[in-house]
């Protein structure tokens, strides 16, 4: 959902990610190189002019605390309503147990602590069945079909 009155911060990732953090690929369960630049949204921000945003390569969404679920809606709206197809990175306080939710809401990557890599990999494969018949996004797993 696009809300005009919300703040948007266009910033680099500097200061938002610790140098030791890994960029975890939610599709392959491996780690990849950090992008050089991109747009960073705090969870408060909701995408501005959609056409501008759809052209960006990388968008990061920062979760202030893992229990603040606005980022899931923001991510899903970027994918399904704005048509964003670039890299979508989850930053901030997120936990491995959210891996599948992040992935299914359209996040391609998560910034994680190196010591949690194994937990993220395990969590990503914990549940492979789901009920929601969600709109096809760039990346979707096995849906429950009959």
121 near other proteins, rule: CB under 8 A: no
Which lies closer to other proteins via its Cβ, residue 15 or residue 115? 115
Token representation of residue 15: 């200061």
Is 126 an interacting residue with respect to other proteins (CB under 8 A)? yes
How far apart CA 27 and CA 87 sit, in angstroms, is 11
For residue 4, state whether it binds other proteins (rule: CB under 8 A).
Answer: no
Identify which range of 9-17, 32-40, 54-62, 134-142 contacts other proteins by CB under 8 A: 134-142
Question: How many angstroms separate the Cα of 4 from the Cα of each of 48, 50, 62, 135?
Answer: 7, 11, 19, 25
* Residue 72 CA from chain centroid, whole number: 8
Binding to other proteins, residues 38-77 (CB under 8 A) = 46, 66-70, 72-74, 76-77
Among 105, 111, 112, 124, binds other proteins (CB under 8 A): 105
Residue 112 within binding range of other proteins, rule CB under 8 A: no
- If one counts every other C-beta atom within 10 angstroms of the C-beta of residue 40, the result is 23
**CB 93 to other proteins: min, Å:** 9
- Which C-beta is closer to other proteins: that of 31 or that of 134? 134
Which secondary-structure segment (H or E) carries 91? strand 87-92
Diameter of the chain by CA atoms?
47
**Residue tagged 């096809």 (tokens):** 136
| Interacting residues toward other proteins by CB under 8 A | 1, 3, 46, 66-70, 72-74, 76-77, 80-81, 95, 97-98, 100-105, 119, 122-123, 126-136, 144, 146
């Amino acid at each position: 959902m696009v809300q005009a009155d919300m703040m948007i911060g266009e910033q680099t990732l500097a200061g938002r990610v610790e140098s030791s953090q890994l960029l975890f690929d939610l599709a392959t369960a491996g780690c990849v190189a950090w992008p050089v630049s991109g747009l960073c949204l705090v969870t408060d921000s909701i995408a501005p002019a959609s056409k501008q945003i759809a052209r960006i390569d990388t968008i990061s969404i920062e979760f202030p605390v893992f229990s603040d679920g606005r980022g899931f809606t923001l991510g899903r709206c970027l994918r399904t309503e704005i048509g964003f197809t670039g890299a979508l990175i989850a930053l901030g306080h997120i936990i491995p147990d959210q891996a599948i939710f992040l992935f299914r809401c359209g996040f391609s990557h998560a910034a994680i602590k190196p010591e949690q890599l194994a937990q993220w990999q395990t969590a990503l494969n914990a549940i492979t069945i789901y009920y929601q018949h969600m709109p096809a996004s760039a990346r979707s797993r096995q849906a429950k079909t009959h």
